């Protein structure tokens, strides 16, 4: 497979994904170019990663004639602007190669993704939505789980690209389905982390051994990703509260999940409550707070002791 691949969004998740893709180039003729709109960030990457520097674009003009463009941006609005342009920037989609493929690996609204897919199709560009599950360490290891929505033949053609960044690829159906499933998955995770945090605070009030409490959960029906990979590793006994996924990103994904209620025609009450608590935590905690900080936020909110 010989092609020209661009990667937009070289942040905490995007840059290690780009490095893995760069390190596992599918063919000696495959060209790679990475870009982030922050010139300061790009300068820092060139300084700190000299081996990757030749593959980092000097400006957006280097993104022309791409066969594949991968986006890993904060939200769907940023993806749309990067592709369709704005008053200050020409549309990138009009500078792509014929029959190009856009792979949006951001966490975006499935309804917005479907609308964007229709706009791109009018320009003979195909869209796959391919959000990832896993934090920064998994992005570095190349062991992300990747959901992908879109035409089966295009998904299979792009499979080697996905497997350079992740260890599991899950086709989810039509365009937009992967973004929908990612939002709902993150809701279930956020609810589990929140419930575990409250249980730990209750356990602390009862003078229980919290490590043993987590062992009980992990051997019983209370087991979830938070109990298995967050509590002892990042939250208890002087934990670092650095699990690799921002609290604000979690709140954003909960907002996407909550927006689906308009399409569904009903309002899930637990989702509404969960979103409200995470949004309030965002207001109280610093911008860089990790999602595991919800534990300390709930302790302060409830007047409990850690």
Catalytic residues: 182
Count of residues making up the chain = 306
Query: How many other C-beta atoms are found inside a 10 Å radius of the C-beta of residue 128?
Result: 26
CA–CA separation, 176 vs 150, rounded Å? 8
Distances (CA, A) of 298 to 189, 194, 273: 16, 8, 14
CA–CA separation, 303 vs 228, rounded Å? 26
277 touches 194 (CB < 8 A): yes
CA–CA separation, 246 vs 286, rounded Å? 10
Residue 144: which residues within 8 A CB-CB, separation 6 or more? 17, 132, 133, 134, 138, 165, 166, 167, 168
Tokens of 246: 């921002």
CA–CA separation, 210 vs 229, rounded Å? 15
């Amino acid at each position: 497979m010989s092609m020209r691949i661009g990667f937009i969004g070289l942040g905490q998740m995007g840059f290690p994904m780009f490095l893995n893709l760069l390190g596992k180039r599918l063919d000696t003729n495959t060209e790679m170019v990475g870009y982030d709109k922050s010139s300061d960030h790009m300068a820092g990457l060139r300084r700190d990663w000299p081996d990757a520097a030749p593959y980092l674009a000097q400006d957006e003009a280097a993104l022309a004639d791409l066969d594949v463009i991968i986006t890993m941006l904060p939200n769907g609005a940023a993806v749309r602007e990067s592709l369709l342009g704005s008053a200050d920037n020409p549309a990138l989609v009009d500078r792509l190669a014929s029959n190009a493929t856009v792979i949006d690996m951001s966490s975006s609204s499935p309804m917005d993704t479907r609308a964007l897919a229709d706009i791109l199709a009018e320009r003979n560009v195909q869209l796959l939505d391919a959000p990832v599950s896993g934090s920064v360490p998994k992005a570095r290891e190349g062991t992300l789980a990747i959901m992908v929505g879109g035409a089966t033949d295009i998904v299979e053609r792009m499979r080697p690209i996905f497997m350079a960044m992740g260890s599991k690829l899950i086709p989810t159906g039509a365009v937009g389905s992967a973004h929908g499933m990612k939002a709902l998955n993150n809701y279930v995770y956020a609810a589990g982390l929140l419930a575990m945090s409250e249980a730990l605070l209750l356990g602390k009030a009862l003078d229980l051994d919290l490590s043993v409490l987590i062992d009980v959960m992990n051997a019983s029906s209370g087991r979830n990703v938070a109990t298995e990979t967050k509590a002892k590793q990042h939250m208890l006994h002087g934990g670092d509260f650095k699990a690799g996924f921002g609290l604000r990103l979690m709140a954003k994904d909960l907002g996407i999940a909550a927006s689906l209620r308009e399409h569904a025609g009903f309002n899930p009450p637990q989702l509404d409550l969960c979103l409200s608590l995470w949004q309030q935590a965002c207001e109280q905690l610093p911008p860089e707070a990790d999602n595991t900080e919800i534990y300390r936020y709930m302790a302060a909110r409830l007047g409990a002791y850690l």
